[in-house]
Structure 1
Amino acid sequence: MAGRPVEPVDRRTPAGALQTVDRALLVLLAFERTRPDWGVTEIAAEFGWDTSVAQRLLSTLAGRGFLVSDPATRRYRIGPAALRLGRLWERSGSLELLAEPVLQELRAATGDTVLFCLPDSFHMRCVAAVEGEEGPLRYYPLVGELYPAHAGATSKSFYAFLPDEQRHRLFRGRPMARFTERTVTDPDQLEREFRTVRAQGYAWTVGEYDAGIGTVAMPVFLGSEPYGSLSLGAAKERFPEGPEDRLEV
């Protein structure tokens, strides 16, 4: 398991590719949660292009709805057409197909139940799963299950890496249910645990959501931003030395 962000996007236009199309895609990939808007001169400087080239690219993308422009600031943000494609991809089943080989490999190496989850409001939603060698951890399907944001490694491995302001908005002033005697419901204690997760790069919990279940999880990054979580779960007796051996897989 690896919780590192993926390598930066290669900005070189591949052989045989259309340079203009490739540049337009690079512009779209420049927008992130930590950098939600760009100006023309900033894009030009970022990629080493003439300002006129950056202007034409941004205007064209805005004309097709992939970007929107603020007339007052002349800065650009992601538009509805890009969001629509993202939603279509999530609903197409492509994500599950991409995750399946990774989940199967981890299950073969550990024997644990393996989950791939994405954020869904104040939960993590399981979108792909492979049952462990001891059978299902629950009596109903894992795919589609919602895991609360404050309980268990599956959720903590993702929410720990959100920007501080966004995470505080989610957890401060919100009632949090207690599922077992180990469930953490105090926001200050949660924040301390999130700091630990960020420092070590993974989350490890025992019995926070399901009594007797140990879970180790790592964030999945898209670029430099947290996108989901990948977790291994089993009866706590299968983790006699804690999560360390799973981290070496």
Structure 2
Amino acid sequence: MRDGAAPAHHDTGGTQAVARALSLLSLVGRGGAQGLGLGQLAAASSLARPTVRRLLLALGAARMVEQDRATRRYHLGPEAYLLASFAAERHGILHHACEGMVRLARETGDTVLLTVPQDDHTLCLERIEGDFPVRTHALMRGDRKPAGVGAGALAILAALPVPEADALLARVAPLVGDLMPALAEDLARARAHGHALNPGRIVPGSWGLGVAIPWPDGRPAGALSVAAIENRMTPARQADLVAALHREAEAIAARLAELDPQRRKA
């Protein structure tokens, strides 16, 4: 062993502890506003409760997580929020999408949603409502759905390479159930038309149109969608909404392209 080199087993143990702590931090973050209890975190991480408790204490000391005194559930802490705010301009698609979403909601009067991919699911990052008095509530901020379920999720799925998207759809088939045949038809239509349409598949009468937001290499960073009641989704109005969605998605994509030159197309 070289002078000053640490024993290999020490490095392995330290790396494992860091990896476990970061995994727990990610789980806490994905717990949403309701937070997660110790037992839930232990089950999700496949770690023993004492190990999870010890790691959470360390994360708590660093202000990365905090425990609600009333519910005993864990949430992201103030230091995690601070670090996320520093990263928002480079990595936060919401940071770059908000202006366009507000503009769309104001122009259309309908609900505008931002959806991002998350493993075999999609997550609704933001929901901005227009001033039309009758709204659809099929998708709310923080909702997590299987891939392809909803206009934004379908737009993301359609933007993936066909073999990858088909494999993803096969994996979520048990979660989608009887919706699967219709979803496969909607996916084929989205690929052909360049935008996704959800004609009330999840909630009857609640329609949505979605357009993917691409990274420079073509992979979907997320999707913008407009949700409205069925009688506001006439064919003529759909064309106007799709044009507006493409306009804002392209503007967001241009801002994302400036963040990481290495992802630009050659």
Which bracket does the TM-score occupy, shorter chain normalised? Answer: 0.5 to 0.7
Larger helix fraction of residues: 2
Shift of 1:217: 0.6
Where does residue 109 of structure 2 map in the other structure?
111
Residue identity opposite 2:136 in structure 1:
L
SS at match of 1:245: helix
With over 3 angstroms needed to count, the CA separation of the structure-2 counterparts of 1:91 and 1:166, relative to structure 1, is farther
Give the Cα–Cα distance (whole angstroms) in 2 for the partners of residues 107 and 135 of structure 1.
14
Identity among equivalent pairs (%): 24
Is the contact between residue 89 and residue 96 of structure 2 (CA under 8 Å) also seen in structure 1?
A: no
Give the Cα–Cα distance (whole angstroms) in 2 for the partners of residues 90 and 120 of structure 1.
17
Where does residue 141 of structure 2 map in the other structure?
143
Q: Aligned to 1:206, which of 199, 203, 226?
A: 199
With over 3 angstroms needed to count, the CA separation of the structure-2 counterparts of 1:190 and 1:208, relative to structure 1, is closer
With over 3 angstroms needed to count, the CA separation of the structure-2 counterparts of 1:248 and 1:89, relative to structure 1, is same
Where does residue 247 of structure 1 map in the other structure?
242
SS at match of 1:150: coil
With over 3 angstroms needed to count, the CA separation of the structure-2 counterparts of 1:135 and 1:127, relative to structure 1, is farther
Matched positions, count: 158
Give the Cα–Cα distance (whole angstroms) in 2 for the partners of residues 101 and 166 of structure 1.
31
Give the Cα–Cα distance (whole angstroms) in 2 for the partners of residues 143 and 200 of structure 1.
27
SS at match of 1:185: helix
Give the Cα–Cα distance (whole angstroms) in 2 for the partners of residues 103 and 168 of structure 1.
30
SS at match of 2:122: strand
Structure 1 window deviating more from structure 2 (126-135 vs 96-105): it is 126-135
**Unmatched tracts of structure 2, length 5 or more:** 1-82, 245-266
With over 3 angstroms needed to count, the CA separation of the structure-2 counterparts of 1:170 and 1:91, relative to structure 1, is farther
Where does residue 87 of structure 2 map in the other structure?
89
TM-score (norm. length: structure 2): 0.52
Q: Aligned to 1:225, which of 195, 219, 230?
A: 219
Residues 142-183 of structure 1: per-residue CA shift (max 9 Å, x gap): 2211233232222111101212232232222531335xxxx6
TM-score (norm. length: structure 1): 0.55
Where does residue 164 of structure 1 map in the other structure?
162
Is the contact between residue 186 and residue 198 of structure 2 (CA under 8 Å) also seen in structure 1?
A: no
Is the contact between residue 157 and residue 203 of structure 1 (CA under 8 Å) also seen in structure 2?
A: yes
Is the contact between residue 176 and residue 185 of structure 1 (CA under 8 Å) also seen in structure 2?
A: no
With over 3 angstroms needed to count, the CA separation of the structure-2 counterparts of 1:110 and 1:194, relative to structure 1, is same
SS at match of 2:174: coil
Shift of 1:193: 3.2
- Whether 2:183 is the aligned partner of 1:184: answer no
SS at match of 2:180: coil
Is the contact between residue 150 and residue 176 of structure 1 (CA under 8 Å) also seen in structure 2?
A: no
Shift of 1:206: 1.6
Shift of 1:191: 4.1
**Unmatched tracts of structure 1, length 5 or more:** 1-84
Is the contact between residue 150 and residue 185 of structure 1 (CA under 8 Å) also seen in structure 2?
A: no
Q: Aligned to 2:230, which of 233, 236, 242?
A: 236
With over 3 angstroms needed to count, the CA separation of the structure-2 counterparts of 1:162 and 1:190, relative to structure 1, is same
Give the Cα–Cα distance (whole angstroms) in 1 for the partners of residues 92 and 192 of structure 2.
32
Give the Cα–Cα distance (whole angstroms) in 2 for the partners of residues 167 and 92 of structure 1.
27
Higher relative contact order (CA 8 A, sep 6+): 1
